[in-house]
């Protein structure tokens, strides 16, 4: 049985599908559909690499070792995809979960 890595990471980080949908500019239903089909376009993969601080090879299941993104790569993705506000909201959601669990 193949593990859905992106779904697993979302659950581990206790992030709702709705929040990731907003982060990706999708509805919750659209994100759920994408997550369950395990097929993403390259832009979605890039945004999720930033969210989970994991390289694309790990997210695609090519390797089981996470290589974290460099600071420069993170900044480039945030700038290129205009993700500053959405990325901050997701980080706050993760922090709230950790502190109020």
> For residue range 35-75, what is the model confidence (pLDDT) as tens digits?
888 778 889 989 999 999 998 889 888 888 888 989 999 88
Structure tokens, 61:
């299941």
What pLDDT sits at residue 2? 56
What pLDDT sits at residue 3? 67
Contact (Cβ atoms closer than 8 angstroms) between residue 86 and residue 97:
no
Gap between the Cα atoms of 57 and 48, Å rounded: 12
Q: Is 46 helix (H, G, I), strand (E, B) or coil?
A: helix
What pLDDT sits at residue 101? 43
Contact (Cβ atoms closer than 8 angstroms) between residue 4 and residue 35:
yes
Whole-number average pLDDT of the chain:
84
Structure tokens, 66:
């996470």
Contact (Cβ atoms closer than 8 angstroms) between residue 37 and residue 18:
no
């Amino acid at each position: 049985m193949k593990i859905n890595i992106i779904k697993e990471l979302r659950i581990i980080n206790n992030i709702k599908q709705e929040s990731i949908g907003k982060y990706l500019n999708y509805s919750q239903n659209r994100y759920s559909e994408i997550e369950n089909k395990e097929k993403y376009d390259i832009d979605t993969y890039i945004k999720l690499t930033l969210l989970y601080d994991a390289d694309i090879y790990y997210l695609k299941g090519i390797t089981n070792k996470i290589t974290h993104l460099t600071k420069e790569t993170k900044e480039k993705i945030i700038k290129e995809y205009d993700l500053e506000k959405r990325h901050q909201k997701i980080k706050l959601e993760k922090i709230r979960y950790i502190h109020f669990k």
